[in-house]
Structure 1
Amino acid sequence: MCSDIAVQTAHLSKSYHIYDTPRDRLWQLLSRGKKHFYREFWALQDVSLTLRKGETVGIIGRNGSGKSTLLQLICGTLSATSGSIHSHGRVAALLELGSGFNHDFTGRENVYMNGAVLGLSRAEIDARFAQITDFANIGDFIDQPTKTYSSGMLVRLAFAVAVCVQPDILIVDEALAVGDASFQFKCLNRLEALTQQGTTLLFVSHDMGMVKRFCNRVIYLREGRVRASGSPEEMAELYLLEMRDEQRRWASGGAVPVAPKAFLDKQGGIAFGTDEGHIVAACFTNTDSLYSSFVYGETIQICIQAQVRDTIELPSISVTIQEARLLVIGGANLPLQMEAAHDGWRKATITVHFPAALSAGKYHITLKLMNGHSEETAQLIEKQVALLAFDTLPGTKDFLGFVDLGIEAGHALQTSTLGERQ
């Protein structure tokens, strides 16, 4: 294996035997393999991938797609039915909550046991023990059996052990979803520090924001196979496309599929939706193009043209402003005022504007044409991902974060509720 490769799998597959009744399991044992009394379920099929040292790779897919099975095979807690796995370096993992812990042991005993499993000597664990307990921050519970821990305390200790042993490869399976907000913040900072030091990070998450924030690359699994692999933004949108397709097929009885559509920028991009309508055109009004630049405080204005079939009852446009990695920082859903129907179609033009009260940097605007006025219940007709892009130049106003909320100091109100409490 090349020196820069951390993990490599080739044609990896995992099969389980499914028995309809306990009696079939007994018959299988007595038949000594001469006859099958089971059905095969392939949790993972023919997965080949390469993870390089220092790379951060996310694995996405719906429940049952084989994500956790793949991680367990890489960790060695499961044996593959066929294929091969090669890893280089110390592997630490956070899989199912509390996995690897003996719940009759105290937290302290579990720290030493897990450290030994990861290949550390007692002296090395002694040297790291204070750092582990400080990070977990569970106080005197460190000397109590872990079966008395809450789920949050359990994940705190497990994560502290995993990151404080300085692993070469760190594998995380949705474990951070259990912790509270302050602990998640601390974990994310530690993950960033580990990746900067060269640790290979492989993790499963349904949080596309976290995937976009951390990952260099994303692997999309579907029904146990690699559906696609690529940039976090592209894979997140492909995943969303297929989820939307399933939702629409369920809502419409399979009559209105969601599929890839033409992107309005000739340079290429991601667009998908149904044949019920189209975003015909969009542009910044000051440049008449898909790109523009603004100074802090100027007004950003875009013009959007759309058409929908006359059967669409609540046509609307969703405008989402995103930062460079397509993390959402704001937006709005706006109803469309349609023209009279012509040949089964209705057209509309809408102008949208908002202030460039943003920090200096590059931003994107994603447009969605929908049937409905609520993001939660509307049916997608078309989505043009990051269709428009603009830069903001620094102004004289100093503020924190992406958006200037207009926070200012001022005099206390005459009728202060704080004063009343005192």
Structure 2
Amino acid sequence: MAITARDLSKYYHIYSRPTDRLKQMFFGRRRNFYRDFPAVMGVSFDVGRGETVGIVGRNGSGKSTLLQMICGTLKPTQGSVRVNGRIAALLELGSGFNPEFTGRENVYLNGAILGFSRKEMEQRFDSIAAFADIGEFLDHPVKTYSSGMYVRLAFATAINVDPDILVVDEALAVGDEAFRRKCFARIEQIKNNGATILFVSHSAQTIVQLCSRALLMDRGEVLLEGHPKVVINQYQRLLNVKGEVAEEVRGTIRSMGTDEAFTPPPETGGQAQDTTPSTQEGYDPHLESKSRVVYETRGAEIRDPHIVNTRGQRVNILEVGRTYTYTFRVSFEKEVERVGFGMLINTTKGIGVVGSSTRPVQALHLTSVKAGEEAEVSFMFKCAFTPSSYFINAGVSSPDSEDGEFLHRMLDAVAFHVAPTDGRTSTGIVDIDIVPKAIKLGSESGPSGS
């Protein structure tokens, strides 16, 4: 095992008043003037060599504290953690570098901490400088760096010390888009080279794409460990609730069995039963979503999501190039203003392909709805996907609701299959009618003559 954590916990002392801290110094263990705050409670898990494990959870759930204990920068209150191999970490912004040192000096300092000689770091320095791409700022104190420059240098250093284990916190979120793409490409490369990666992110798609397993943390506990898409679906469900409802959802998630958590969601019922997909538009009653996740209602409820063709017929086998409409009904349980609706088409692995939302366009809002009223929502689209199975989400929200969150949402509400079409050459996910062409040319030198 690369990482083994057993009953790992971290408690902080919380004092109601500053004077209580002084009293504690005098009374010692004879009396406590504080209460314990459990940042992490009883966490146990293993990470095998070569695994990529993602950790998700709301802010304050204990993710960063857990990573710090694994990296050895924070001592656990109880429990143990064992790490086998050289570990390189990119934790919260500001950790690992001396702000008074220049970027160059910090690179050599980090290398020395990891056991590299100065000569070894000199051999790696050009690669670090090229990846960070911060120019002359390498010789300036890092306290003068922007957050983006700091992350560039920290990440470039971490990936160029040949780590057996790479730990990445949400720090990459402060980088610009081009640098993030470069970082994730390098993480994929490190992953393919057999390194172990422990990754924290709020990005559902990143976790699904990179990780073979995921953990859901909440209030310092690991609520769920399992397949990335299963964990992400439950994480998104938990984000949408508060109070007593949140406690019920937490209990439901915690009670999920190992088999349920680790079993990849089946693509579709139809694909499992019929290995010869239809080549024509139609409706297959066996082709249904087996991974639908329905959020708790918060004043509205989505009903009967489905796809129809231009003749109004229900379909779930689509043909490339034809026009379809995704539609659902919403019944309202309370009065709501400025109601918006949305949809998102995903691959079976949970990667978002394309979606639509009425929220940015005020003219598409429902100005006001009353309790007991209904709305019919439709999204017309042209099928431009390569042959495969896909899911569609459905959502209804209002900026006037609590926290501006969803009033209701369904993940993987509808499953559909795009039928194969002879003669089409598109690969990937989207079919944009690419027309390939190849012309044979003569030799470059041409015929010789006198």
Partner of 2:446: none
Amino acid at match of 1:298: R
Q: Give yes or no for the alignment of 1:160 onto 2:156.
A: yes
Task: Give deviations 1:52-109, integer Å, cap 9, x for gaps.
Answer: 2222222122222111110000000011111010111111111121311112222111
- 1:316 Cα offset (Å): 6.9
Question: Which residue, out of 129, 134, 140, partners 1:138?
Answer: 134
Q: Give yes or no for the alignment of 1:244 onto 2:244.
A: no
Amino acid at match of 2:219: E
Partner of 1:367: 394
Task: Give deviations 1:172-215, integer Å, cap 9, x for gaps.
Answer: 11111121122111111101111111121112222223222222
Partner of 2:116: 120
Question: Which residue, out of 23, 26, 30, partners 1:30?
Answer: 26
Amino acid at match of 2:319: V
- 1:219 Cα offset (Å): 1.1
Amino acid at match of 1:244: N
Question: Which residue, out of 53, 70, 76, partners 1:74?
Answer: 70
| Equivalent residues in 2 for 1:19-418, closer than 5 Å | 19-246=15-242, 267=290, 269-274=292-297, 278-285=301-308, 292-302=316-326, 304=328, 307-309=331-333, 318-333=342-357, 352-368=379-395, 370=396, 372=398, 380-392=406-418, 393=420, 402-403=429-430
Name stretches of at least 5 consecutive residues in structure 1 with no aligned partner: 409-422
Hey, what's the Cα distance between the residues in 1 that align with 2:346 and 2:29?
Answer: 57
TM-score, normalised on structure 1?
0.79
Q: Contact (CA 8 Å) 1:277, 1:307: kept in 2 or not?
A: yes
Amino acid at match of 2:46: T
SS of 1:273's equivalent? coil
CA gap of 1:378–1:265, structure 2 versus 1, over 3 A, is: farther
Amino acid at match of 1:274: T
Hey, what's the Cα distance between the residues in 2 that align with 1:373 and 1:72?
Answer: 36
Amino acid at match of 1:216: S
| Equivalent residues in 2 for 1:3-14, closer than 5 Å | 5-14=1-10
SS of 1:318's equivalent? strand
SS of 1:227's equivalent? strand
RMSD of Structure 2 on Structure 1 (CA): 3.8
CA gap of 1:39–1:210, structure 2 versus 1, over 3 A, is: same
Hey, what's the Cα distance between the residues in 2 that align with 1:140 and 1:276?
Answer: 56
Amino acid at match of 1:7: I
Q: Contact (CA 8 Å) 2:289, 2:415: kept in 1 or not?
A: no
Task: Give deviations 1:18-58, integer Å, cap 9, x for gaps.
Answer: 23344433332333422222221111110011112222222
Amino acid at match of 2:152: R
Amino acid at match of 1:385: L
Hey, what's the Cα distance between the residues in 1 that align with 2:95 and 2:169?
Answer: 11
SS of 2:116's equivalent? coil
Q: Contact (CA 8 Å) 1:9, 1:85: kept in 2 or not?
A: yes
CA gap of 1:317–1:151, structure 2 versus 1, over 3 A, is: closer
Amino acid at match of 2:221: R
Task: Give deviations 1:224-259, integer Å, cap 9, x for gaps.
Answer: 11121223323223222222112xx6xxxx899996
SS of 2:2's equivalent? strand
SS of 1:170's equivalent? strand
- 1:389 Cα offset (Å): 2.4
Moved more, 116-125 or 82-91: 116-125
Q: Contact (CA 8 Å) 2:338, 2:400: kept in 1 or not?
A: no
TM-score, normalised on structure 2?
0.74
SS of 2:180's equivalent? helix
Hey, what's the Cα distance between the residues in 2 that align with 1:23 and 1:373?
Answer: 43
Amino acid at match of 2:227: S
Hey, what's the Cα distance between the residues in 1 that align with 2:246 and 2:337?
Answer: 16
SS of 2:154's equivalent? helix
Amino acid at match of 1:366: N
Q: Contact (CA 8 Å) 2:288, 2:415: kept in 1 or not?
A: no
Identical aligned residues as a percent: 39
Hey, what's the Cα distance between the residues in 2 that align with 1:389 and 1:233?
Answer: 16
Amino acid at match of 2:41: Q
